[in-house]
Structure 1
Amino acid sequence: MNRLRKWLTPPAAALLGMATVMSVQAASRPGEERPASITRLRSNFNADWRFQIGDAPGAKEAGYDDRAWQPVGLPHSFGIPYFQASQFYTGYGWYRKRLTVPAAWRGRRIALEFEGAFQDAEIFVNGIPVGRHRGGYTGFSVDITSAVRTGENSIAVRVNNLWDPTLAPRAGEHVFQGGIYRDVWLVTTDPVHVAWYGTRVTTPALSERSGTVAIDTEVRNDGGKAVTVSLRTDIHDPAGKIVATMKEDGRRLEAGALATLSQSSGPIMAPALWSPETPILYKAVTTVLANGRPVDRYETPFGFRWFEWTADRGFFLNGKHRYLKGANVHQDQAGWGDAVSNRAMERDVQMMKDAGFDFIRGSHYPHDPHFAEATDQIGMLFWSEASFWGIGGFGPDGSWMSSAYPVDPRYKAGFEESVKQQLREMIRISRNHPSVIAWSMSNEPFFSAGEVMPEVRYFLKDLVALSHKLDPTRPAAIGGAQRGEIDKLGDVAGYNGDGAALFPNPGIPNMVSEYGSTMLDRPGEFDPGWGDLPRTPGAAEGEGEYPWRLGGDRVKLSGPGLITAPSWDANSDPWGWSTMPACPNAAIIGTVRLIAASRRPNGLYKVSQRRCA
C-alpha cells in the first residue's frame, strides 16, 4: 500500500480571493483622480518620471536639477529596450518625480504603494528618507505623510540591482534587470483605514449547496487620538446583488494601534463556484466607521472554490478530479524586459488558456499582483513561488551563479530573513486569489554547496511552517524537489526534469513542475532531448502501475508542467529552451519554447491547442 497523503483545504478556509486595494467607487483609469469627498483615493503614479542610470550624489534633494535626465514612464527597467541581450547592467539608477499635494489633503494619510522595484529601493521625499525595501519581486507601501507639504514636493527613488549575498535570490538563470519595473500607486486615506492588503477572506464551510464567508480586516489608527471602530461588510454576487451583510460592533482603537476585526456571514445558498471554466468572482465591500463616521471603504474580490490534493488520486477542484495541464511562465518580454504592462500580463495568461492549458507555475519568483488578478479573471490555476532559487553549475559567491544557500556563516541569517520576508509579502498580497492553489518555497534549492545541504533542508522545513502559519488554507510546496532529499519536506512536491522518472510514485501529493530544459543550436532539429517522460514508469498504455501520463479514468496523479511558456531570454541568442506537450496522450515533440519573448506562438503552441483543448 502506498502511503497516502492528502491536502484538504481546512473547513474554515475553502473560500479565497483577491485582496486588492480599491476605492469607494469603481477603479479609475490610470492617472485619473477621483473627487476629494471619497474617503479612499487611489491613483496611478506611473507618469512623468525622470531617470538617470548610475549613482547621482545629491539626487535625493528637493532642489536637485534633473532637467537633463531621461523622461520615462513606469513600469521601467534599467535595460529598456531589451531583446536577447547576452549581458545586463548591474549598478544604480535614480528616479525623480514631482507631487503636488492639495490643501484638502491636510490631516489625511498619504502613501506610495510600489508593486515591485528590483531589488534594493530607497525612497526620499523632499530629501527626507521615508522608506527602504530589499527584495525585487514583492510589493511594499511607504507612508510619506510626515515628509510632504502642501504644494509641490519632490519624490526620489534610488534603486540598485547589485548581487547581494544576503538577498534572495542568490542564483538563477535569468536576467536580473534593475528598476521600478512594476506599477506605483498614490493612496490617500483617513488616518483610520484598512491596512495595506489588510483583508483575509475564507469560508467556514463550502459545498455546491451553500457557503459562509469569514473575513478578517486589519484596521490601523494613524491618528493622534483613540477612536471607536466598527465595520460593515456587504458580500456582492457577480451581478452586484448583496447576498450577505456582516457587522462588527464598535471597539476602542488606540492612537498608533493596529487591530484585526473578524466577521462571519450566514449561509449563502448555491454560490457560483470558481473554476477555470467558470471564473466567477464575488466581492466583499467593507466600510470602516470611526466614532460612527464612515472613513474608509475597501473592496476585496474573491471566488468560492475548494480543492483536494492527494498522493494516490491526484488533484480535485470543487470535488472533481482534474489533470493539470500547464506551463512555467516568466515575466519578461521582448523590448520591455521585466517592465511589462498589465495588459501584457493578461495576454500571457490568455495565450496559455488558448493553448488548452488550465495551470501556470509562476517561475521562479512572486509575480506582479495583476498576474494573479488575470489568472482569477481569465480562469487559470496558479502556483505562486518564492524566490529561493538555485542554478546548476554554480560557483563561488559574487554573482547569480552562486550557491542557492550561503556557505559563509556571516550571510546565513540575513539571507534566511530575506526569503522569509518575501514569502510573507507574497502570501499577504495574493492570499485571497481563488486561482492560487499552492505556495512554493523554492526552485531547485539543492543547487547549494554540499556542506550546507543539511541547513537547506532545515530551512525549507522552517519555510513550510511559516507558510502554514500565514495561510493554513493552501499547501506549502517544494518546487524543484528531485534532488537533495527535500521532496517530502512540504505538502506537495514539484519534480523538475527527470523527477518524473525518479519518483513515479513518491507517496505524497506531487506533479511534474518543469520539463524539457534542453539547449539546442538553432537552426537545427527539434529534439526533446532528455527523454524523461518516455522513460517514466507507466508512460505507455498498459505499462506498469503508474499511468500518470494517460487521460480519462486512469489518471492518478496531478499532471505535468512545462518549461517554459513565455520564456526568459537571458543569453539565449543562439539557444532555445525545448519544451514538451503537457496533455494526456500528447505526442512527444520538442521545439524552441512554446511562446518566445516576442510573444509569437510557434509550432508546439499549435500542437498544444489541438491536443490539450
Structure 2
Amino acid sequence: MTHAMAFNDHWTFAATDDSTYRFQPIPEGELVSLPHTWNRTDGQGGADSYYRGACWYQKGLNISAEDLTKRIYLEVGAAGNIGHVYVNGRLAGESRCGYAMFRVPLTPFLKEGDNLIAIQVDNSHHNEVFPLMADFTFYGGLYREVKLLYMDDIHFEMMDNGRDGVYLTPKKSNGQTFELRVEGQVANESATTESGEVRVRLQDQDGTTVLENVAQLTLEAQTKFAMRCEISDPILWEGVERPYLYSASIEVIVGGQIRDSRNIPVGFRTIEATTDRGLLLNGKPIKLNGVCRHQDFGGAGNAITREHMDLDMSLIREVGANSLRLAHYQHDDYFYSLCDRYGLLVWAEIPFISIPSAQDPENRNAEEQLERLVKQAYNHCSIYCWGVQNEITIAVENEHTHRSIQKLVRLAKELDPNRMTAQANINGVEDDSIINRYTDLVGYNLYYGWYYGEIKDLYDRFDSFHRAQPDVPLILSEYGVDTNPNYHSYTPQVQDYTEEYQLLFHRNAIEAIRSRPFVQGGYVWNMFDFGSANRREGGETGKNLKGLVTIDRALKKDAFYLYKAYWSKEPFVHVAGRRFANRHQERNDIAILSNLRRIRVYLNGVLLTEIQNDDPMKIVKDVSLSYGENRLRVEGMDERGGIHADEIQLRRVSDIDPSYVHVKKEEAKHVVNWFEKFDLSNTESIELKEGYYSTFDTIEELYRHEEARGVFLKYFGDMTNNPFFEVTKSVMSIEKMTQLAFFNIPPELLIAINKELNVIKKKL
C-alpha cells in the first residue's frame, strides 16, 4: 500500500545560488516550513523590484534498512519556476513546469542512515520556459506541499506526468445510461512477473455499491489496463445546484493482498456549448457567472495553505459564482477538488501567455505543461475545458504562433477527447481571424471603458464577433477595472480608480452578457487583487487592483455585492458607498445592492422611501444630507417575511475630501504626450519599401543596425529600462506596441517613425 508522509517542516533555505549546496549543508540558512516563497513581500510591492534567481532548500532524511525495501518517491507540489532535486549530491530529478506537481524516485540514490535532500529552485527568466511575460508576479520557491511516498514494488504508475496513475472517464452512452471507462498503468518494480488484478468499485454517498468490475492482469514491468462499466440512471453532477459525487475505489491486488489503491470522486454530467442556447449542463442552459482567480494572498504570495484556499472558496460561493477561470496556470489539486465538491465549472489552463518563445519556436515547454495539467487534473469533473493560450498574440502573430496553438489543441484532444478546448484572445485579434476556428470555445479579454473605448462598446463587439463567427461559442474571458476602495467620486470616470466607476463598469458588463444568448458567460478579472510586482497604479505598488475583494481578503468592494445581487440566492441588502463617508454635496444618489424586491430606506430614523422592483441595483436619488453625521439604514424583506438590513454612516462636509482623489503620476505608467514631445504635424502616409526598415520589424532587428536603433531610441529611449523590453524585444514590433494601451501610441507617430526608418536599407 502507498503511505504518504508530509515532508514540509524544518527545511533550511538559502537565498543564494551555490552549487556546493547539492552535497554540502547550508552553513547559515533560514529555517522555513513549506509552502514557502522568497517573494512574499517584494512580489507584492515591498521593493522597487523583486528577486528573480536561484535559491536552495535542504532537508535531512534518515532511512532505515527496512525503508530501503520500499519504493520511495518525493512528490513536490510545485517549484517555481524550475526545480532540480539532488539526493546526496546526485541529480535525481527536475521540473521545468513551475505550476505542476512532479515526482522523483529516491530509492536509487538513498543509503541507510542520514541522507541530504537538496532542491535548487529558480524563478529567473528562461526564454524557453513559460510564462515569459505576464501581469502577475512569477513567485519563486517550493510554494506547495511536499510529500514522501512509500510504496510496494507493485503500484499504480507514478512517473507518467500524471497524479493518480488511473484515469476515469464518465461518458453518456444512450438514454440515461453512462459508461465509466477506467484506464491506467501498473508498475512492477520487482524482479519477477506476477499475476494480479485491478478491481474497481463505485459507491454512492450512502455507501451502496452501484458498480463493480475486475480486470485480470499479468503484471510485467509496465502493464496497461482498461475497463468499461455501465451505470443506469446515475444521480447527475448538476453544478452548484447539486454537485453529486460518487466515490470510486480502484485497487491493485496480488495474491489476495491490496498492493496499491486510489479513491477518486466521480461526477456524471454532460457539457455542450451552443450559440443559440448557450452552455448546456446535462442538457439545461446555464450562463457562466464566473470569476477568475490567481493563487495569491496578501503577505503569503503564492505559498498559500488549504486554509487560504478554503477562505477563497467561501468568498466565491458567497458572491454566487457558478464557474471559475483558474488563471493563468495549473492550480493546486486541492482547489480543483473544492470545485468538484461545490459544483463550480472550471476553465483550467496553462501559462502559454503574452509572448511565445524566441529560443524555441516550437514552444515545447507549453506542450509539456499542458500534458501535466491534463493528466494531473483529468479526474476532476468540475473541469469542462482546457485553455491553451492567453493573449499569446500580444507581441507577435506568425506561422509559429498559429502552429503552436493548433499543436496544443491536438495534444489536448489526444489526451482528453471528451473535454472542450478554449483560448483567451486579446482584443486586437480580428473577429474573423482563423485563430478563432482552432478551439471549441473562444474567449476574448475585453476592457472597453478602461484601456480603450467606452463601456457600451462591449455590446457592439459581441455582435460583430457573432456576425463574423455565428457558429463559434463566445466567452468574455476577462473584464474588469483597477479599483482602490479609498477613492470615490460623484462623477466616476475612466481610470479614476473609484469604487463608483467599478460599479458602473461591471453593471454594464453584466447586462451585456445577459442580453446575448450566444455569449456563454463571462469571467470577472479578478475575484481578488493579486501581486504584480512591477505595477505602480491606482495609488498602490506591486498589485493588480481589479479584484472584487482586496488581496488580504479583508475588504469586499461594492462591486462584490453587485455580483452577489445578480447571482446569489442568499437574501441580503448592501448599501454602496460606505467608504465614501465624507460627502460635500447636499443631494446624493444612493445605490442599494440587493436580490430582494421590497426595500425600505430610512434616513436618521425616518422612513425616506419604499422601493418595489427586481433590479439588483436600486438607486435612491437626491437623498438630502444634513451637515454632520447622517445614518442611512436599509431594510429588505424576503419571501418568508424575514428582514435583512444594512446601515452606513455618511458625513456632510463643506469641501471635497482630497484623499478620495487619485493623483495620477504619468511617469509611473510611462504615459507620454507624443504630440508635445515630437512634431507630428506631417501626417501624410508613405508607401513602405521592401528591403528597408519599418515599424513592422522587431525591436531586436532594429537594434542590430546602429542607425535604426538610433531611431527607436529617439522615440522610446526612456522606456527601454522597463523589463518588458528585455523580454519582448525579440518578438515585439512598434506596430504591435500600438495595440497595447500601455504605450498610448497614436497613428501619427507611426507615420513619423516610418519616414525615418524606411530610408535605412537592411543589411543582406
TM-score by length of 2: 0.65
Q: How far, CA to CA, are the matches of 1:469 and 1:359 in structure 2? A: 25
| Corresponding residue of 1:308 | 272
Q: 2:302 aligns with which of 329, 338, 356?
A: 338
| Corresponding residue of 2:514 | 549
> Which of the pair is proportionally richer in helix?
2
| Corresponding residue of 1:271 | 235
Q: 2:195 aligns with which of 210, 215, 228?
A: 228
With over 3 angstroms needed to count, the CA separation of the structure-2 counterparts of 1:340 and 1:549, relative to structure 1, is same
> Which residue identity does 2:280 align to in structure 1?
F
Alpha-carbon displacement from aligned partner over 1:346-394 (angstroms, at most 9, x marks no partner)? 221221111011111111111111111111122211110111111xxxx
Displacement after TM superposition at 1:567 (Å): 2.7
Q: How far, CA to CA, are the matches of 2:521 and 2:27 in structure 1? A: 55
Q: How far, CA to CA, are the matches of 1:454 and 1:286 in structure 2? A: 45
Q: How far, CA to CA, are the matches of 1:324 and 1:208 in structure 2? A: 26
Q: Is the 8 A contact 2:179 2:230 kept in 1?
A: yes
> Which residue identity does 2:538 align to in structure 1?
W
Task: Tell me, yes or no, if structure 1 residue 183 matches structure 2 residue 128.
Answer: no
Q: How far, CA to CA, are the matches of 2:11 and 2:102 in structure 1? A: 19
Q: Is the 8 A contact 1:232 1:248 kept in 2?
A: yes
Structure 1 stretches of 4+ with a deviation exceeding 6 A read 519-522, 530-536, 538-541
Alpha-carbon displacement from aligned partner over 1:168-194 (angstroms, at most 9, x marks no partner)? 111101111211011111111112111
Q: 1:449 aligns with which of 392, 396, 399?
A: 396
With over 3 angstroms needed to count, the CA separation of the structure-2 counterparts of 1:443 and 1:564, relative to structure 1, is same
> Which residue identity does 2:212 align to in structure 1?
T
Q: How far, CA to CA, are the matches of 2:381 and 2:493 in structure 1? A: 37
| Corresponding residue of 2:480 | 516
Q: Is the 8 A contact 2:239 2:343 kept in 1?
A: yes
Q: Percent identity?
A: 26
Displacement after TM superposition at 1:57 (Å): 3.2
With over 3 angstroms needed to count, the CA separation of the structure-2 counterparts of 1:368 and 1:105, relative to structure 1, is same
Q: How far, CA to CA, are the matches of 2:484 and 2:308 in structure 1? A: 28
Instruction: Tell me: higher relative CO, structure 1 or 2? Use CA pairs within 8 A at least 6 residues apart.
Output: 1
Task: Tell me, yes or no, if structure 1 residue 172 matches structure 2 residue 134.
Answer: yes
Displacement after TM superposition at 1:93 (Å): 0.8
Mean CA deviation greater in 241-250 or 331-340: 241-250
| Corresponding residue of 1:420 | 367
Secondary structure in 1 matching 2:309: helix
| Corresponding residue of 1:430 | 377
> Which residue identity does 1:599 align to in structure 2?
R
Displacement after TM superposition at 1:288 (Å): 0.5
Q: How far, CA to CA, are the matches of 2:526 and 2:557 in structure 1? A: 13
| Corresponding residue of 1:405 | 356
> Which residue identity does 1:178 align to in structure 2?
G
Q: Is the 8 A contact 2:7 2:148 kept in 1?
A: yes
Q: Is the 8 A contact 1:287 1:298 kept in 2?
A: yes
Q: How far, CA to CA, are the matches of 2:105 and 2:123 in structure 1? A: 24
Q: 1:68 aligns with which of 3, 6, 28?
A: 28
Task: Tell me, yes or no, if structure 1 residue 473 matches structure 2 residue 428.
Answer: no
With over 3 angstroms needed to count, the CA separation of the structure-2 counterparts of 1:548 and 1:519, relative to structure 1, is closer
Q: 2:538 aligns with which of 556, 568, 575?
A: 575
> Which residue identity does 1:474 align to in structure 2?
R
Q: Is the 8 A contact 1:514 1:562 kept in 2?
A: yes
Q: Is the 8 A contact 2:171 2:270 kept in 1?
A: no
> Which residue identity does 1:490 align to in structure 2?
T
With over 3 angstroms needed to count, the CA separation of the structure-2 counterparts of 1:445 and 1:533, relative to structure 1, is farther
Q: Is the 8 A contact 1:495 1:514 kept in 2?
A: yes
Alpha-carbon displacement from aligned partner over 1:221-266 (angstroms, at most 9, x marks no partner)? 2222222231111112122222211100122x33xx3232111223
Q: How far, CA to CA, are the matches of 2:229 and 2:323 in structure 1? A: 31
Q: Is the 8 A contact 2:247 2:264 kept in 1?
A: yes
Q: How far, CA to CA, are the matches of 1:188 and 1:518 in structure 2? A: 48
Computed over aligned residues only, the root mean square deviation of the Cα atoms, in angstroms, reads: 2.8
Q: Is the 8 A contact 2:16 2:56 kept in 1?
A: yes
| Corresponding residue of 1:116 | 78
Task: Tell me, yes or no, if structure 1 residue 125 matches structure 2 residue 90.
Answer: no
Mean CA deviation greater in 438-447 or 302-311: 302-311
| Corresponding residue of 2:655 | none
> Equivalent residues in 2 for 1:249-328 (5 A)?
249-251=216-218, 253-254=219-220, 257-290=221-254, 293-328=257-292
Displacement after TM superposition at 1:272 (Å): 4.2
Secondary structure in 1 matching 2:436: coil
TM-score by length of 1: 0.81
| Corresponding residue of 1:605 | 560
Question: Of the two, which has the highest radius of gyration?
Answer: 2
Q: Is the 8 A contact 2:525 2:546 kept in 1?
A: no
| Corresponding residue of 1:595 | 549
Secondary structure in 1 matching 2:524: coil
Q: How far, CA to CA, are the matches of 2:311 and 2:86 in structure 1? A: 35
Secondary structure in 2 matching 1:301: strand
Displacement after TM superposition at 1:78 (Å): 1.2
> Which residue identity does 1:488 align to in structure 2?
R
Q: 2:436 aligns with which of 487, 495, 513?
A: 487
| Corresponding residue of 1:31 | none
Q: How far, CA to CA, are the matches of 2:510 and 2:173 in structure 1? A: 38
Mean CA deviation greater in 555-564 or 76-85: 76-85
Runs of 5+ consecutive residues of structure 2 not aligned to the other structure: 449-457, 569-764
Displacement after TM superposition at 1:445 (Å): 0.6
> Which residue identity does 1:593 align to in structure 2?
G
